[in-house]
Amino acid sequence: MCLSSAEAGSAIIRVRGKTNKAKYEFLRSYYTIWNQITKTRSRVIIDTHAGSGIVELKGDKNLFNKSNIQLIYGSPLLAILKTLKISKNLTIILNESDLERFNELKKYTKELMTNGIRIFKKELKEFRYKSLETKRQRKLKKKQEWIFPETPNAKPPIGYIEVRDFTKAEIILYKKKIEEIIDEILLKYLKKSDKNEEPIALFFVDPCGIVSWSEIIEKICKRSNKKEGTELILNWSWEAINRNLNSPSKNSVLNKVYGTPINRIDEEFREIIKMNQFLEKYINQLREYFKYVVRIGVPKDRKIKPKLSQYKKYFLLLCTNNKSALSLAGHKAEKIKDRMRGNFLNMKKFIRASEKVDK
Ligand SMILES: C[S@@+](CC[C@H](N)C(=O)[O-])C[C@H]1O[C@@H](n2cnc3c(N)ncnc32)[C@H](O)[C@@H]1O
């Protein structure tokens, strides 16, 4: 769950719970692997709802009933940090509509463009030995190792030193409602230039609630059209839909989320009652444009506190046309599954490839 700036009383976004933590863990891995796979091409990351750059993560209460609060890098800074070492031909577009949050984001990005971003470098001890062949002294070269810290305040672990590094990516900031700027982004940054092929695009859409199908998602879907080169990570909120199901705004909310015309809502949603049915319908729409649509995690408390959790569910949906991205994502998610959902579900259920191959 995320709080609006008025509720939170500051530009920092406050999130609660393990699922949110897992969302950031997934992003941390995914930005790295996506960048690794696509590094030979010109590529663009578009964070449509970027937030302020730093997130306050509230963990479980400890023995003394005190919450464990941690400041971590939010999605826009993770995009920069996790692509740092391979950032040529990369553009990172960060959009945030709230003025206070946008100003924070501008401050952080400016700081790291001017002074670099903190990373930890392994102190390599030089190892000298005598070659048996030539009898000369030689140096053993070790591969450089880096750690990319998860939090702005992290200290280097033993054996590492703090250094600053600069991204070669072009960082573009917008302070707009994404609905007002998506067409410009698609036209200006995601079309073929005279000499080049179309850049590869990774959209991260992380609204605090509902996102319009026809104004945002459908446009991304149309770019994808089952061809490699467009990926989408969408934070899909059941909470936002569920909140409105018994209210007079139900039909307009469903129209916004699914793009279904108002006069067709009653007919199309007649049989759709449960959360999973709403989610499946949405995933089926995405599948018309992406070969693979997978769910990344659900709240850990779903089984433990089913009644409570039905109001706070969201799903991270990964939409891709690239099979290797999908399996790498699965491999990374496997590593973090304990933190996402306890041990009671195995990976096959945890990450579900909704459709294997488009025939
Ligand atoms: C869940 S937060 C983003 C968190 C961020 N992606 C992260 O992981 O660090 C959603 C953000 O979207 C912003 N927002 C809300 N409506 C928006 C819109 N129409 N266009 C762009 N940003 C919007 C909010 O101000 C808020 O900062």
pLDDT of residue 301: 47
- Compute the average pLDDT of residues 81-101: 97
Q: What is the number of the ligand 1 atom nearest to the C-alpha of 76?
A: 9
- Compute the average pLDDT of residues 259-271: 96
40-87 confidence digits (pLDDT tens):
999 999 999 999 999 988 776 666 666 678 899 999 999 999 999 999
- Say which residue the tokens 């995320």 belong to: 2
Residue 310, pLDDT > 70, answer: no
Locate the domains of the chain by residue range. Answer: 5-115+166-353, 117-165
For the record, the structure tokens of 163 come out as 């250094």
176-231 confidence digits (pLDDT tens):
999 999 999 999 999 987 677 899 999 999 998 999 999 999 999 999 999 999 99
Residue 274, pLDDT > 80, answer: yes
pLDDT of residue 358: 32
Q: How confident is the model at residue 351 (pLDDT cuts 50, 70, 90)?
A: very low
Ligand 1 atom 6, closest CA: 50
**Percentage of residues in the chain having pLDDT higher than 90:** 58
Ligand 1 atom 8, closest CA: 75
- What is the CA(75)–ligand 1 centre distance, in A? 10
- What is the CA(138)–ligand 1 centre distance, in A? 54
139-179 confidence digits (pLDDT tens):
776 778 899 998 888 999 999 999 999 999 999 999 999 99
Strand order across the 200-205 sheet? 170-174, 90-95, 43-47, 200-205, 230-237, 314-320, 292-296, 351-353
pLDDT of residue 330: 64
pLDDT of residue 192: 85
- What is the CA(254)–ligand 1 centre distance, in A? 20
Residue 339, pLDDT > 50, answer: no
- What is the CA(207)–ligand 1 centre distance, in A? 5
CA distance 348 to 30: 19
Residue 125, pLDDT > 50, answer: yes
pLDDT of residue 92: 98
CA-nearest of 22, 15, 19 to 329 is 22
Burial level of 16, CB count in 10 A (0-12/13-18/19+)?
Answer: middle
pLDDT of residue 62: 66
Q: What is the number of the ligand 1 atom nearest to the C-alpha of 98?
A: 25
As beta bridge partners, residue 15 has 2, 57
- What is the CA(345)–ligand 1 centre distance, in A? 31
pLDDT of residue 6: 45
pLDDT of residue 204: 98
pLDDT of residue 29: 87
Q: Which of 5, 70, 97 to mutate to test the pocket of ligand 1 (most atoms within 8 A of CB)?
A: 97
For the record, the structure tokens of 15 come out as 């999130």
CA distance 289 to 217: 11
- What is the CA(234)–ligand 1 centre distance, in A? 12
Parallel/antiparallel/unpaired status of strands 230-237 and 200-205: parallel
8-20 confidence digits (pLDDT tens):
446 666 666 555 7
**Percentage of residues in the chain having pLDDT higher than 70:** 78
- Which of 96-105, 182-191, 239-248 comes out lowest in average pLDDT? 239-248
Please give the residue that has the higher pLDDT: either 195 or 347.
Answer: 195
Residues with CB under 6 A from ligand 1: 2, 13, 49-51, 55, 74-75, 95-98, 101, 177-179, 206-208
CATH fold of 5-115+166-353 reads Rossmann fold (3.40.50)
For the record, the structure tokens of 124 come out as 């390599």
- What is the CA(69)–ligand 1 centre distance, in A? 21
Q: Which of 96, 104, 210, 233 to mutate to test the pocket of ligand 1 (most atoms within 8 A of CB)?
A: 96
Q: What is the number of the ligand 1 atom nearest to the C-alpha of 55?
A: 9
- What is the CA(130)–ligand 1 centre distance, in A? 59
Q: How confident is the model at residue 352 (pLDDT cuts 50, 70, 90)?
A: very low
Q: Are 78 and 30 within 8 A, CB to CB? A: no
Ligand 1 atom 4, closest CA: 51
- What is the CA(267)–ligand 1 centre distance, in A? 32
pLDDT of residue 130: 79
Q: How confident is the model at residue 134 (pLDDT cuts 50, 70, 90)?
A: confident
Q: Are 330 and 30 within 8 A, CB to CB? A: no
Residue 308, pLDDT > 70, answer: no
Residue 333, pLDDT > 60, answer: no
Q: What is the number of the ligand 1 atom nearest to the C-alpha of 23?
A: 8
- What is the CA(105)–ligand 1 centre distance, in A? 12
Q: What is the number of the ligand 1 atom nearest to the C-alpha of 2?
A: 1
Q: Are 245 and 275 within 8 A, CB to CB? A: no
pLDDT of residue 341: 40
